[in-house]
């Protein structure tokens, strides 16, 4: 075999595996940056005077949990005379009746119920709630999450820094789901790094915003917390992550929910694509936004192309047959023994959900109504 033959074979190999090489290279870079900067991130929450806040809770058919969730607010360390609670609801079960009963018993709390007999979607429901907020800070929490007693105080305290426009808390899994725990641990590292570098991209179901900075949602919007944080970063304010503002959520294993969430983020990324590598938005535009654009949109496409090329090579060309077989066996092993490879399985599972979401987006499919999610007990 002469030098030309070796060059041709190597060129074919590089072309065949170039999508996979790019995929691995980018994740090595993102992973290295995240690990390095996450260790440097330290939150500084200190406030001399607590502001009046508006706590917004959207509900839909939560009759099984709404009373206990509202009761849990009584044990928070944030003063009740410094908050109002606005509940927006479109349930067709006993949820609104249970809320009204709670309001009658706990008159010391300022609670307003906005009930709509017609489901118009989460975006519309939140628009109505935000219009009636009086607090300088709006804190949005989902009805199925539980806050640690100091979580509300901690998240609001971040606003003592006038450059901060929004804050999101740290999610912990309230169920025995080792795969989700592994994923959330990785997400915690990424968000610590993003907050240190500039601002986070993805916000959680427990987030707080300066009321003067929030925007109205379009009816098709999904991923409301991140929509607000992107909008606030556009205005020059930082969006931080506070690991001391802890909340618990029972996360669904539903593939449908993962796909729907990914659809929301794809729309957010496409709508704000002008931020991609845009120095106007500092390191958020140069690194944070592009890295999330890669992980949510580019990565699943590269993975799909890589698998297609590997299968074609195995069947037709056989330039790297041994490597092809190894990769396919490795993927099948991960799927078969998913409980032993939590992080890798979650990566594959999310990539599949995001790929489905990309296809749905390309075909013009979209769901604006929010549904009750079935969660593990």
Q: Look-up: residue for tokens 């939590």?
A: 342
- The SS3 call for residue 112 is strand
pLDDT mean for each 10 residues of the chain (377 residues): 49 77 95 96 78 94 90 92 94 92 93 86 88 95 92 94 95 75 88 97 95 86 86 96 91 78 93 96 98 97 92 82 85 77 82 94 67 49
Are the C-beta atoms of residues 158 and 75 closer than 8 Å to each other?
A: no
Per-residue pLDDT tens over the stretch 6-55: 444 456 667 778 899 999 999 999 999 999 999 999 876 677 789 999 99
CA distance 137 to 176: 34
Strand order in the sheet with 137-141: 111-115, 83-89, 53-59, 137-141, 206-210, 164-173, 238-249, 146-147
CA distance 377 to 374: 9
Q: Look-up: residue for tokens 């790094």?
A: 193
CA distance 18 to 20: 5
- The SS3 call for residue 375 is coil
pLDDT at 183: 80
- The SS3 call for residue 116 is coil
Among 221, 258, 261, 260, smallest CA distance to 120 is for: 221
Pairing assessment for the beta strands 137-141 and 206-210 based on DSSP bridges: antiparallel
pLDDT at 231: 95
Q: Give strand pairing partners of 249.
A: 173
CA distance 57 to 152: 14
Among 208, 223, 291, 277, smallest CA distance to 37 is for: 291
pLDDT at 204: 92
Domain residue ranges in the chain: 1-372
Are the C-beta atoms of residues 339 and 178 closer than 8 Å to each other?
A: yes
pLDDT at 376: 45
Among 81, 73, 56, smallest CA distance to 132 is for: 56
Are the C-beta atoms of residues 160 and 108 closer than 8 Å to each other?
A: no
pLDDT at 118: 77
CA distance 245 to 255: 28
Q: Which CATH number fits domain 1-372: 3.90.550.10, 3.90.226.10, 3.40.1160.10, 3.60.21.10?
A: 3.90.550.10
Percentage of the chain modeled with pLDDT above 90: 59
pLDDT at 130: 93
CA distances from 333 to 106, 281, 302, 307 (A): 55, 43, 21, 15
């Amino acid at each position: 075999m002469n030098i030309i033959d070796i060059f041709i074979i190597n060129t074919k190999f590089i072309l065949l595996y170039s999508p996979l090489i790019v995929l691995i290279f980018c994740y090595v870079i993102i992973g290295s940056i995240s690990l390095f900067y996450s260790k440097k991130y330290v939150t500084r929450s200190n406030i001399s005077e607590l502001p009046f806040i508006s706590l917004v809770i959207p509900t839909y058919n939560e009759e099984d949990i709404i009373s206990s969730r509202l009761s849990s607010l009584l044990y928070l360390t944030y003063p009740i005379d410094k908050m109002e609670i606005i509940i927006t609801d479109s349930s067709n079960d006993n949820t609104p009746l249970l809320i009204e009963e709670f309001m009658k018993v706990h008159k010391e709390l300022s609670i307003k119920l906005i009930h709509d007999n017609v489901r118009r979607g989460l975006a519309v429901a939140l628009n109505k709630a935000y219009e009636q907020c009086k607090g300088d800070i709006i804190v949005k929490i989902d009805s199925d999450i539980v806050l640690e007693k100091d979580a509300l105080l901690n998240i609001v305290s971040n606003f003592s820094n006038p450059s901060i426009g929004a804050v999101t808390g740290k999610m912990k899994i309230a169920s025995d789901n080792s795969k989700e725990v592994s994923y959330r641990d990785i997400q915690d590292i990424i968000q610590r790094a993003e907050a240190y570098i500039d601002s986070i991209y993805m916000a959680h179901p427990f987030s707080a915003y300066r009321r003067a900075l929030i925007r109205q949602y379009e009816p098709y919007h999904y991923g409301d917390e991140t929509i607000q944080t992107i909008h606030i970063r556009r205005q020059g304010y930082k969006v931080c992550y506070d690991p001391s503002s802890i909340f618990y959520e029972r996360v669904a294993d539903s593939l449908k929910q993962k796909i729907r969430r990914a659809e929301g983020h794809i729309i957010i990324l496409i709508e704000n694509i002008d931020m991609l590598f845009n120095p106007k938005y500092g390191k958020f535009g140069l690194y944070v936004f592009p890295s999330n654009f890669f992980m949510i949109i580019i990565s699943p496409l590269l993975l799909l192309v890589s698998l297609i090329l590997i299968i074609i090579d195995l069947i037709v060309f056989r330039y790297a047959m041994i490597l092809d077989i190894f990769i396919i066996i490795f993927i099948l092993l991960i799927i078969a023994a998913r409980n032993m490879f939590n992080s890798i399985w979650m990566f594959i599972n999310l990539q599949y959900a995001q790929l489905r979401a990309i296809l749905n987006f390309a075909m013009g499919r979209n769901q604006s109504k929010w549904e009750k999610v079935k969660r593990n007990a």
